[in-house]
Amino acid sequence: MKMKLFCLPYAGGSATIYTRWKRHLHGDIELHPVELSGRGKRLLEPHYGSMDELVEDLYGYLDQELDETDFAFFGHSMGALIAYELAHAVKKKRGREPLHLFVSGTYPPHARRSLPLHLLSDARLQQEIRQLGGTDDELFEREELLRLFLPGLRRDLELVETHCFKSRAELIHCDISVLNGKEDKATEGFNLLEWASYGSRGCQLYEFEGGHFFINEHTEQVVSLIHDVLRSPVVQMSTKKES
């Protein structure tokens, strides 16, 4: 079975975080880190004005990559919510759906934080990011790096926190895997299994040691889980039915 795995980054991050995954994935799973405008190799391109604009832009990339090969989405934090919206965009425009949706490190689309992060002062936002962990201390110690990082992070957070994630009568027809760090402050207090209401099939929660950036701390275990899920008999059966 050949499959494409499209991976979406977290707020303030680049798709390059996924490049290390390639050496751990089975050869049948083709890794596609999806870069957003304004970062990585697209650094000089303008930032998005809305989540709808972001999804439309990324669909343009996916449209070129969606051949007859089966595909799955993985997204962490903001990337998980983008993956959910992309799944619906592909379904609407191409009549195709992912064989699996991996959502990591975030609450379900209908949930909201009591305190929107994008409205915080720079000092408070830095404090919140420090509490999540996973960010090099050097970033907070060097003013020039902060001036580059914080505005982009704030724009990403605003995209997510101001977007209206619409409830849809049509669900995504695939299983959903929810990945979470046991000490993740960003998902604390949310019922992550409510992701089950966004797909018409099964929903499974997998917990890892660590905080919000457990995917970087436990890369091999995360990729091993993805590998096992995508090569499971359930997914294989779905592939055969839809081929």
* Residues forming the active site: 77
* C-alpha triplet 38, 3, 193: angle, nearest 5°: 75
Question: Are residues 4 and 204 in contact, defined by beta-carbon separation less than 8 angstroms?
Answer: no
What is the end-to-end Cα distance of the chain in Å, rounded?
A: 11
| CA–CA gap between residue 128 and residue 147 (Å, rounded) | 17
Question: Of 101, 73, 88, 55, nearest to 170 (Cα)?
Answer: 88
Residue from 149, 205, 198 nearest 172 by CA: 198
